[in-house]
Amino acid sequence: SGQSTKKMPTETKNVSIIGAGMAGTMLAILMARRGYEIDLFEQHPDPNSGERNIELASNLALGERARHALRITGLIEQVDRLATPMRGRMIHDRSGRITLQPYGYQDYETLFSVRRESLQQCLLYEAGNSDRIRVHFDHRLRTIDWDAKKATFSTDENGGGHAHDFEVLIGADGPASKVRRLMQDDTDLGADIQMLEAGYKFLTIPPDEHHEPLMDPNAVHVWPRGGYMLLAFAGPDGSFTATLFLPLKGDHKMIWGFEELDSWTRQGAFMDANFQDVTPLMPHLEEEFRDNPVGRMGTVRLNRWHLGGKALLIGDAAHAIVPFHGQGVNSALEDCTTLDSILDEGPESWEAAFQTLQERRKENTNAIADMALDAYHTMRESVRHRDFLLRKALERELELRHPKRFVARYSLVMFHRIPYTEAYQRGQVQGVIMDELLAGKDDLPDVDLELAARLVEERLEEVSVLL
């Protein structure tokens, strides 16, 4: 829409993007609409070509930030048709008892589970509809000559290759970004990369013989167990992908790690002992333990996201986070919509556009990195504790009483688009208010709600943009 009327920041016509993942493909779509010619390079074959992998078959939770990007590219209806709404967390305790913790009391406080593959295909299909986007599958970035502005790719296992001259290059090649490493060879980006001492493995819960899901599909299922946990969400076919999060190495006593679970005997016994209500629903557990790799997770923080006006990093390449807040895709797509609005403002150069993006996003992506690490501890541990539940009950009460001022941090992150830093800061103020109200109290009726009203009025402005 309005392709030719949108401003171009410079005379550049061609933009080269590395990585046709979520961020790379979304950015290609947005930039093609502005009139740029896009070369999009992806190491993997076309996902429509039939090659499958478990990573692509897993489900993702989408919140408002991702949905906003899908809305402005006209893809939301299509994605919604493939999505399963999820209204809260279903906590499974050791005895198999389940409790629903709703995400909120408003209708919009709903997450949407989609198969990674479906979202990817939807974006690639849209990209394929543009005659300004050329997608080059089976192109793995190998080298970049920054002075000559030339990138080389390997195109097959037999040493085949391709060289490409670029004007502007955008690295959207994920957490282990090659573009980032090649940029670092040229300039110090101030990278801080912290890997988690835990890994994950995908497992599946197929539907029953009538293709019906075996658990409630409208919730995120969580089995919090202290040092580790299991998580599952539903796909559109009635199956669930479950993710087992476990330390890489245990202590050989109380805590098991992937390293100790080195035989089916131990794996099966561990699953039965810890997740007894769901293990019987996993008929392929043994093969999946054997065949699915242990994934690694980490946090990437950079001081600089760009090399002048030559190159920029976006998405996980610039700011990978641990997956426990379910915000990686949301945040990657928010980079794309933010860059799109910066280009609307008519920056005088690519360097100015990239610098503005870094200024608007860096603090925010650092804030979501911190909140994702917090969520790791909360989900493994506190969701099963009484204090946590009392706090949740108070939080909900304050939300109902003060809907414009008191909004749970989780909700600000997942269901709103206010900057992550603001969500973080409000969360801290709200946390202190709750600490003060709960000091010495064991039950919700003991809380002084008049004091609560005063503290909320005094310390919290109204939330500026709700949705």
Least distance to ligand FAD, CB of residue 467, Å: 18
Alpha-carbon distance of 177 to 125, in angstroms, equals 24
By CB under 6 A, residue 162 contacts ligand FAD: no
Q: How far is the CB of 405 from ligand FAD (least distance, A)?
A: 27
Cβ of residue 64: shortest distance to ligand FAD, in angstroms? 11
- Applying CB under 6 A, what is the total number of residues that bind ligand FAD? 33
Residue 61 touches ligand FAD, criterion: CB under 6 A = yes
Q: In the set 67, 164, 178, 361, which binds ligand FAD (CB under 6 A)?
A: 178
For residues 338 and 376, is the Cβ–Cβ distance under 8 A? no
Look at strands 111-115 and 84-86 and give their pairing: antiparallel
Q: Which is nearer to ligand FAD, 59 or 267 (CB)?
A: 59
Identify which of residues 41 and 415 has a Cβ nearer to ligand FAD in the complex.
41
Structure tokens at 229: 């946990």
Tell me if 332 contacts ligand FAD by CB under 6 A.
yes
Interface pick for ligand FAD out of 104, 174, 250, 427 (rule CB under 6 A)? 174
For residue 174, the minimal CB distance to ligand FAD (Å) is 3
Q: Which residues of 387-396 are buried (b: 16+ CB within 10 A; e: fewer)?
A: eeebbbebbb
Our CB check for ligand FAD shows the closer of 153 and 350 to be 153
- Cβ closest to ligand FAD, residue 327 vs residue 411: 327
Q: Does 21 bind ligand FAD (CB under 6 A)?
A: yes
Minimum CB distance to ligand FAD smaller for 20 or for 285: 20
Asked if 419 interacts with ligand FAD (CB under 6 A), we say: no
Q: Which stretch binds ligand FAD (CB under 6 A): 166-174, 210-218, 423-431, 435-443?
A: 166-174
- Position among 42, 64, 117, 288 found at the interface with ligand FAD (CB under 6 A): 42
Angstrom distance (rounded) from CA 398 to CA 426? 14
Q: Does 246 bind ligand FAD (CB under 6 A)?
A: no
Is 68 an interacting residue with respect to ligand FAD (CB under 6 A)?
no
For ligand FAD, the binding residue among 43, 110, 358, 364 (CB under 6 A) is 43
413 binds ligand FAD (CB under 6 A): no
Q: Does 414 bind ligand FAD (CB under 6 A)?
A: no
Facing residues of 193 across strands? Answer: 300
Minimum Å gap between C-beta 422 and ligand FAD is 19
Q: Does 144 bind ligand FAD (CB under 6 A)?
A: no
Nearer to ligand FAD, 42 or 399 (CB): 42
Nearest 5°: phi and psi at 171? -90, 110
One of 172, 246, 369, 413 touching ligand FAD (CB under 6 A):
172
Q: What is d(CA 350, CA 34) in angstroms, rounded to the nearest whole number? A: 14
Site of interaction with ligand FAD (CB under 6 A):
18-24, 41-44, 60-61, 140-141, 172-174, 178, 200, 243, 295, 297, 315-317, 323, 326-330, 332
